DNA sequence: CTCCTTGATTGGTTCGGACCAGTTGCGCGA
DNA sequence: TCGCGCAACTGGTCCGAACCAATCAAGGAG
């Protein structure tokens, strides 16, 4: 299990334990014996069994869903979730990363357009505010399941033929390197937690309150010229990252 | 503002927008003119103003708190939050990172003990299950504000004098290097989202449902021997990470 | 046998109310 | 004037009810 090193008991040294947390702990204790994919009893049943209101059960379940331990689907029920996938945090494409995990990568194009960048975007791509930017937005799939939503912005002037040669269900990195001769030398990457908008949640097939890992990257070639700016939302309940630090 | 690159409008192309999200958007639109540290009107007042129930306002506020845009304090009110701090993701200590941001680092010792490791911990530190482990748990402070909770586990046999020479309000890395001659060569690091337990939330002065960035690290010396295993919870509403990727 | 419709079941949203826990300000007494 | 206690105010927890939206299974009709 991902990063489950030693933890302290969750109960505060002082102060009371909220009811919903007690319910959460009881549900958590069920998971190992239930196993991946197993349905939990319905919320109304759990509320009756545990002698609390449904709202209290919902709060407990909500936290376990946020943590990626449960998976809730309106109309179907709540299930024990799969373990998180660990992606490498480095200059490889999503395709390569997923393949390295023995999983099947995929992508679904949402948006393909040319637009006028705002000041910040123009600045990070070192282009003028009057130049155009190619915007590609794709849902990232692992074994057919949406795990991320990626928005890539590239300078139109630098890649005038991109939309002609690029197949949006394939790796953009591969296309840039093999078809357009781009060399990725380095990238600046930022990571933070974020929530998805209802639109993003819909595209990812999740609830809007699910915390995401928001990755924000600007890639550069060997001359230090920006290649792309990428904003990627990964489902925090499904994805983690790993990297090796060197002194 | 951290990683706020271009975003798509949050409204789904299909389907209705939940009331709480409309409230969220209205509140979000207030923030720029209000400015950091400004109190919002009380929940009950907002509910009356917006013509919704208090629960609906709470849900909207809750999401903005999760995202680090608002900061809610029981008994005091809800305030516009400070921007997130960006930490480097590399082999420097928390002290160095915070100082580099022009902020004042600090630590508060919570736990200092010697304990028997479980199988997983013993294995990652390359020690026998009958050996002891030093466990240090500290709250990490930035300008006096708790921003992280760090649990460090070190092999007792390797560092028999550690608890004698180490001042828990100072940098452990500095102590290991300067006082005990340790050389940090590399580390394996994992990042994922997590929720704090009520205890952890209490120590961090936050609410339990606040998403955290959970960092899990094992550091090694130049001979590849493990130095420490560290589990750090950072407040997702306050902290992000940055790194440079090289091809 | 296949497809469509309906009803039951599931989780998601919203409401209003009550109560709890933490904070702050004001008034009164020493 | 200062300190303490109380009341009002704030966000946090919990309840129950109603309604909405998605899913699924069973039955009926073609």
Question: A2 to chain B nearest CA, in Å?
Answer: 9
Nucleotide nearest B74 (Cα, C1'): D11
Q: Mean pLDDT, chain B, as a whole number?
A: 85
pLDDT over 90 at A16, yes or no: no
Q: What is the mean pLDDT of residues A37-54?
A: 92
Dist CA B138 CA B77 (whole Å): 28
User: Which whole number is the average pLDDT over A43-56?
Assistant: 92
Asked if residue A79 lies in contact with residue A141, where contact means CB atoms within 8 angstroms, the answer is no
Interface confidence (ipTM) of the complex: 0.78
Q: Which member of B5, B91, B246 has the closest CB to residue A120?
A: B5
Q: Where are the beta strands (DSSP E) in B57-144?
A: 70-73, 77-80, 85-88, 105-115, 133-142
Which H or E run includes A175? Answer: helix A172-178
pLDDT band at A11 (very low <50, low <70, confident <90, very high): low
Q: What is the mean pLDDT of chain A?
A: 85
Structural domains in chain A plus CATH codes = 8-80 (1.10.10.10), 85-242 (3.40.1410.10)
Q: Hey, of A8, A120, A125, A204, which one would you mutate to test binding to chain B, going by the most B CBs within 10 A of its CB?
A: A8
CB-CB neighbors (< 8 A) of A237 in chain B: 193
Section B120-132 average pLDDT: 91
Find the length of chain B: 247
Average pLDDT over residues B101-113: 87
Q: How far is the CA of B76 from the C1' of D6 (A)?
A: 18
The percent of residues in chain B predicted with pLDDT above 90, rounded, is 36
> Does residue B96 or residue B208 have the better pLDDT?
B96
Q: Which of B10, B117, B200 shows the shortest C-beta gap to A198?
A: B10
Q: In this model, does residue B2 exceed pLDDT 80?
A: no
Q: Report which secondary-structure segment, H or E, holds B57.
A: helix B54-66
Tens digits of residue pLDDT in A165-222: 888 878 888 889 888 889 999 999 999 888 777 778 778 877 666 788 999 999 999 9
| Assessment of whether the complete model's pTM goes beyond 0.95 | no
Q: According to the model, what pLDDT value does residue B201 have?
A: 78
* For range B11-18, the mean pLDDT: 62
Q: Which residue has the tokens 């701090």?
A: B85
């Amino acid at each position: 299990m991902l990063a489950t090193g030693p933890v302290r008991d969750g109960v505060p040294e002082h102060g009371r334990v909220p009811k919903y947390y007690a319910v959460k702990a009881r549900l958590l204790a069920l998971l190992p014996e239930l196993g991946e994919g197993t349905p939990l009893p319905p919320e109304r049943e759990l509320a009756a069994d545990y002698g609390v209101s449904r709202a209290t059960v919902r709060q407990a379940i909500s936290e376990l869903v946020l943590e990626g331990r449960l998976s809730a689907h309106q109309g179907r029920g709540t299930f024990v979730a799969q373990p998180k996938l660990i992606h490498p945090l480095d200059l490889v494409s999503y395709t390569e990363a997923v393949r390295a995990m023995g999983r099947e990568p995929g992508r679904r194009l949402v948006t393909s357009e040319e637009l006028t960048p705002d000041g910040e975007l123009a600045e990070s791509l070192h282009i003028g505010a009057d130049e155009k930017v190619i915007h590609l937005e794709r849902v990232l799939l692992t074994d057919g399941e949406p795990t991320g939503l990626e928005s890539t912005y590239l300078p139109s002037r630098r890649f005038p033929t991109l939309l002609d040669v690029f197949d949006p269900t394939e790796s953009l990195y591969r296309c840039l390197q093999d078809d357009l001769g781009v060399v990725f030398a380095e990238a600046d990457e930022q990571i933070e937690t974020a929530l998805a908008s209802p639109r993003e949640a819909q595209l990812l097939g999740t609830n809007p309150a699910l915390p995401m890992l928001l990755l924000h990257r600007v890639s550069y070639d060997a001359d230090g010229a920006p290649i792309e700016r990428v904003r990627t939302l990964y489902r925090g309940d499904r994805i983690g990252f790993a990297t090796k630090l060197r002194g």
